[in-house]
Each structure stands twice: as C-alpha cells, then as structure tokens.
Chain A
Amino acid sequence: MKKISGVFVLGLAAMTLLSCGPQGFDTSSDIKLYTRDTDSGTRDGFFTKIGLEKAKADNAPLKTGIVTVDSNGSMMNSVGNDMYGIGYISLSTLSESDAIKGLSYNGVEPTEANVLNETYGLTRNFNYITRKPGDYSSTDVEAVVNAFIDYTFSFEGYTIMKGEHGIVEIPSDVKHWSEIASQHAIMQRTDLNLTINVGGSTSVSGMAQALTTAFSSLFPSGSTVKFNHNHTGSGDAYKNTQGGKGLDIGYLSRELESSEQAVEGTSGYMCTDAIVTIVNSENPLDNITNTQLVDMYGLNGETVTWSQLITE
C-alpha cells in the first residue's frame, strides 16, 4: 500500500512538472498569428485600417499557419493561453480578461477619449440594417422595428449605447423617447404578440441586447414583444435581411460593401468602436505600428519572431 501511494505521488509530481513549461518570455520565439473568420466585422476593420485590405475576406494574402477563431471571446482565450500569440478584439471586451493586454497603435493608447478626438486610428463603425419596407412578416413587425430604430437614436438609446462601450457623442438636439413615442401608434397597442429576429455582428450583440431589453419593456401590459438574438457575424447582417430571410434587424461592425446595396433609409450609423491589437500579458511589447502589423500578418512580410519587434 505504501509503495502504491508512493507511485501515486510520483505520478502526480510528474504531471505537475510536465504541466509547468519554461517560464518567462523568450523573444527568439516565433510569432503566433491569430485572426477572426471572414464573416467578422472586426477582421474587416482591422485589415482595412492597417493597410492590408485584400486580406479582409480571404486568408490567402496572410502568412501560412495563421489560426482562425470565430468570436471575440475565443480570441481572448486563445491569446490569453498563448504567450507568443497576437490578435485583435473590440475595445469593449478588453477589460474582461487579465491574461491579455492591449497595445497602443502608432503610439496612441486605445481609450474612448483618443477615439473621440480621432488620434487613435484603429476604429470601425457599428451600423444597422433592417428589412426592406413592406418585406416584413407582418405590418406590426415593421412598425415595431421602425419604432425600435427611432428608440436607438433617442436620448435613452444613446445612453444605452454609451453604457455598452459604444463611442459616440450624444447630439445636442437629441430627443427623449417620450417625445418620439407619440409618432408610433404601435407603442399604444395592448394586443401584440410578436417575435423580432435580431442578428449580425457578434461585436454588437451586447449593445443590441441592452437596447432590445430596454425597448421591449416600453410596451403596455398585454403586449409581448420578444427579441430573438442570434449573432453570427457582420457578414450575415445584409445576407439575412435584404439579401434573404431570417432577420428583421441586422447589425454590422463594418460598412456595407458595394455588393450589399441597402434600400435608402433602411440602414445607418450607430456609434464607433475601437479595435485593439492584443498580446499575452507576459509579452513586454507596448506599442505597435501599422507597418509592423502588415509585416507580421502579410504573406510577404519579414517579421516572424518577436525579437524583430522587441529590442532589449
């Protein structure tokens, strides 16, 4: 029995030894690149802004061996677990993990103030798109969607967008919802039982949920308006609203493409978000420039190890 427990302890010790790798950051290591999937608006914004535009919908112009992840959350986990990894996420999610840190871009720190005064360059816009007028499952749904879009741009809507890390100045002439609500007769109905399908960008999902939660409580008792959220990426926003079926409102964390022609008045700008380049918190790097990023991600770039960026 003694021997068996001895072997047991030995085995455990071996396991712990195995699980502890070498400590400290080794600058001679290769850079491990992470990117989002091609449906992502974050990817679109990142590659457009650093000057590698042809990579936004295609992995071919990127270095081989790049790892594709499919949400901000898994990007944070991947880079948080990979000491030599580099990736990019939305600024709003940066504070949620201690295992990663955000880098300054071209010497400017990623803060809301720096985005508003336009010194931080790595930004993209949050936009919305709805179905074409008359193309909804019922006129009630259309009326609710129109009211909801107006709510988004009311004082209350701006407050919620800012609360969800949207970067936007509240316009000085913005109206309170109580002043707009009277234009929407649907808000007085007491017999509604509707489900509105919302989807699109995963980066906007938190904001969209906060807006719909607040909005759906504004109906008088008797009416239930439910918002069904299914966020799968900016690429599905146009595809599933005006390009097809499935969504009543779609959100994009990029601009509409030239191939995505929205009917006038059915799409618009909501607020701005910053994209942050992230590395593992063990990484000594603090700042990165767009040319460094292109050299790192681009197929013909020459940066492959961290020592080319970090000089001790």
Chain B
Amino acid sequence: MKLKMKISNPFKFDDGMSRKRRFKDIFRNASTLIFSLLTLVTLIYIIVYIFANGSSTLSWQFITSDYQEVSTSLYSRSDLNFDDRTFDFNEDGGEISEKWGVQLVDGENNLGEHVVYFLEVADNSYFNELVIGSNTATETYNNYDGQYISNLSLRVDEQIITLSSRDSASDIVNYLDQSNEIMFMEICTVGGGIRGSLLTTIYLILITLIIAIPLGVCAAIYLALYAKKNKFTMILRSLIDMTSAIPSIIFGFIGALVFIPFMNAVSGSNGGSILSGALTLTIMLISTIVKTTEESIIALPKGYMDSSLALGASRTETVFKIILPNALPGIITSIILSIGRIIGESAALVFAIGVSIQDNISLTGSSTSLAVHIWSLLKLENPNYDAACAISIIILCIVLVLCLLTKIISYRFNKKFKRS
C-alpha cells in the first residue's frame, strides 16, 4: 500500500497545527534531509576520489599487460668500437644520445612510478649490437619496444656510474654520451598489469555459475512446487535464509579447510586454485539463487499451472515448458546478482584461492581475483592507491552494467504481467 502524501515542500505546513507539533515535524523533516544528504555526499566523494586517482593509471595496457616484469641483462661487447656513423630518428620528443643512437623518454609504469622508456632505437644504433649474458657473448638483442631501463652501470673515465629507472632520461643520456662501455644494463618489460587477475575473475564467474545454477534452480523448483508444507520444509527454508547471512570470511576458511584439500586430492593441485575458489563461491551463492528463483516462480499467476494441467500436460511438462520459461527473468536476475557478488567478493577468496598475483592462469593453479588484487596492492610496502583505484573503476563499471541489465530485465518482466 502506498501512502498518499504531498511532499513537495516539507517545510511548509498547514495552519492550525500546534507549535509543538510543528516543531517536531520540522525536526523530523530536517533530520531525514540531513542524513540523506550525508549519504549522497559520501557516495559522491568515494566515486570522485576513485575516478580522480584511478583514471590516470587506467589504460588498455594496464588491463592487458602482465603483472610480472621480464628482465634482460645486456652488455656492450669488449671489442665494441665507435665509428662516425650518424642516426636518424622518426619520433619526436625525448632525449637523444647521439653517441649510442637511442632516444629515451621519461614516463610512468603501471604502478605510477617514474621510469625511463626506450622511445626509439635507431636501426644502426650501437644498442642493437649489445649482447645478452656477458660482454663476451655473441647473441645480440634488438627488441627494445615498450621496455624500460631498470638498472644501468657505465664506465665513465675509469669510474663506474650506476643509474636506475628513477634517474631522469636526460641524466641517463648525459652519462651515456660520456661513456664507451655499458658494463651492465637491465631492461624490463612493463609489469603491474591486471590481465591475469581479470582472467581469473572471468573463470571464477563461469565455473561458479555452471555449478551453482543447476543446483540452485532445481532446489528452488522443489521448494516452490513439490515440497510439502511440513516442518522439514520449514527448517530447510530457514536454513537457506541463514546461509545468506553467514559472513563470507567463514565461507573462506571452510573453503580452505574443505575444498582446497579436496581439489588437491582430485586434481593434484598444490594449495588454493580457481576450482577450490569456485566451489567456495558456489556454496555462498546457492542461497541467493534459490531465494530469487523461488520467489519468481511463486510470483507467477496461479492460472498458468492450472490451465496447463487442465489441457492435459503432465506436471513435469508444465514445470519445464511453462513455469521455467516464464520464471526465466527472475533466474537471470539471480544470475546477475551472483556475478556482482563474485566480482566483489574478497574475504572468502583470500583463503579459498590465495593472494599471489599470477600471469599464467590455469584452473588448478593459484591466482587471484580483481578484488583480492586490490588487497594485495594495498598491503605492499608502499601501498599503490592509484592502481587500486583503477581496478575499482573497472569493478564499478562492471557492476553498473550488471545493475542496468537487472533493471531492464525486471522492467520487461513486470510489463509482461501487467499486459496479461
């Protein structure tokens, strides 16, 4: 039932009220307004904070690159001689070492730290004559694209100058131009990407849903259509309700105690894996799926069942051909809610999968989801808030899309029944 109240202006009152009542009303209205404003301001602040800090880090490269850096150790050969060659560069900007034929540029890695990238290495650059492993090796290296200088030791006038990615590009070029020998140079691919965690999250969603939907939907059909109204069913229902109220950390250590040893025995994995995580999430989500599906079945007009039976269809036929297709929007809503829960879940997964961020994902190997990835970033020696915010933006966007989908589906669902 809807209360019909005129709330166009809460501070304007009919005359004839006593002063005491009017004062009370003003107090009540003002407090609702203040509290709703406070909530609004906090929410806006969180979203603005996340977007302001995360948007600079968020890039396609951040999403698709690996977390681990791969480094290469390079040396200039002891018999390297400089001739009078000149270099052509196509790129603008950055700092050019005319002696070695490289163009370096200041930049940031995915963790927001300053690094010096290779902008361009000229085709005839001495850098293409550097060798891997030692200064007497013969294997040359020429793939500098997208890599940065991690560490660099140069011999300048019998002195050893050590530089790192924290030094500026102009400093490095300055010392390079004075030096004839690269005693050791470590170059790295850019790490800190979230590809592995994103893939893990997708795997988790798929596997969890594949297991949880059949279990949940069948349980819901049983409870809504077949179960007799007795004590047993009542206890079953309240148990399912209770499951949805258990804190996720408890599911987490149940996962660690039950599912990790189980998966280790079954698949030969070692420690937490995507499968053990998915099983834990399944247990968590079944109650949501059962409740939502059951409600959407109960909400169907009773005439559907009766007319189908009256036309000669069996009970089973009615359930699978009439009830389930009509309850589909409710089931889809429950799936979308579950996906949202999987993406946001962290406490349970810390135990059930583990926290190590991986790039090569396998179902039986350890890896981590996006939400736990955030946790891992913040527990570092220097917490990386920017990257955490960037991941938050991704999660927020996914959740927003899911919310819109749920709204559209339930809107269509309601419209359909209003027509009938």
Question: Is A74 touching B70 in the complex (CB atoms < 8 A)?
Answer: no
Stretch of B14-22, B49-57, B157-165, B408-416 with 4 or more beta carbons under 8 angstroms from chain A: B157-165
* Chain A CB within 8 A of B391 CB: no
For B41, what are the chain A residues with a Cβ–Cβ distance below 8 Å? 11-12, 15
Which of A4, A96, A158, A214 sits near B73, CB closer than 8 Å? Answer: A214
What is the 8 Å Cβ interface bit string for chain B, positions 136-175, against chain A (1 contact, 0 not)? 1100000000000011110000001011111000000000
Which of A76, A170, A217 sits near B71, CB closer than 8 Å? Answer: A217
Question: Is B381 touching A217 in the complex (CB atoms < 8 A)?
Answer: no
Q: How far is the CB of A176 from the nearest CB of chain B, in Å?
A: 6
* Chain B CB within 8 A of A71 CB: yes
With the chains together, A162 CA to B154 CA distance in Å? 13
With the chains together, A71 CA to B382 CA distance in Å? 8
* Chain A CB within 8 A of B306 CB: no
With the chains together, A73 CA to B160 CA distance in Å? 32
Which of A7, A74, A159 sits near B151, CB closer than 8 Å? Answer: A159
With the chains together, A228 CA to B355 CA distance in Å? 11
Question: Is B150 touching A214 in the complex (CB atoms < 8 A)?
Answer: yes
Which of A12, A71, A156, A213 sits near B381, CB closer than 8 Å? Answer: A71
With the chains together, A205 CA to B41 CA distance in Å? 39
Interface residues on B, range: 35 or more
Question: Is B380 touching A73 in the complex (CB atoms < 8 A)?
Answer: yes
For A218, what are the chain B residues with a Cβ–Cβ distance below 8 Å? 73
A159-B153 CB under 8 A given contacts A170-B160, A217-B70, A217-B73: yes
Question: Is B165 touching A163 in the complex (CB atoms < 8 A)?
Answer: yes
Question: Is B133 touching A178 in the complex (CB atoms < 8 A)?
Answer: yes
Which of B152, B164, B166, B356 sits near A228, CB closer than 8 Å? Answer: B356
What is the 8 Å Cβ interface bit string for chain B, positions 356-368, against chain A (1 contact, 0 not)? 1000000000000
Considering the complex, which residues of chain B in the window 103-159 have a beta carbon less than 8 Å from any beta carbon of chain A?
133-137, 150-153
Most buried by A among B68, B150, B188, B381: B381
Q: How far is the CB of A123 from the nearest CB of chain B, in Å?
A: 19
User: Can you name the residue of chain B whose Cβ is closest to the Cβ of A203?
Assistant: B381
User: Can you name the residue of chain A whose Cβ is closest to the Cβ of B134?
Assistant: A178
For A170, what are the chain B residues with a Cβ–Cβ distance below 8 Å? 160, 162
* Chain B CB within 8 A of A136 CB: no
Q: Other CB < 8 Å A-B pairs besides A71-B381, A170-B162, 8 of them?
A: A3-B11, A15-B41, A77-B383, A159-B151, A162-B162, A163-B151, A210-B151, A228-B356
Q: Residues on A close to B: CB < 8 A?
A: 3-4, 7-8, 11-12, 15, 71-74, 76-77, 93, 96, 155-156, 158-160, 162-164, 170, 176-179, 202-203, 205-206, 210, 213-214, 217-218, 228, 231
- Can you list 8 pairs linking A and B with CB atoms under 8 Å apart? A96-B382, A155-B153, A155-B184, A159-B152, A163-B150, A163-B165, A203-B381, A214-B186
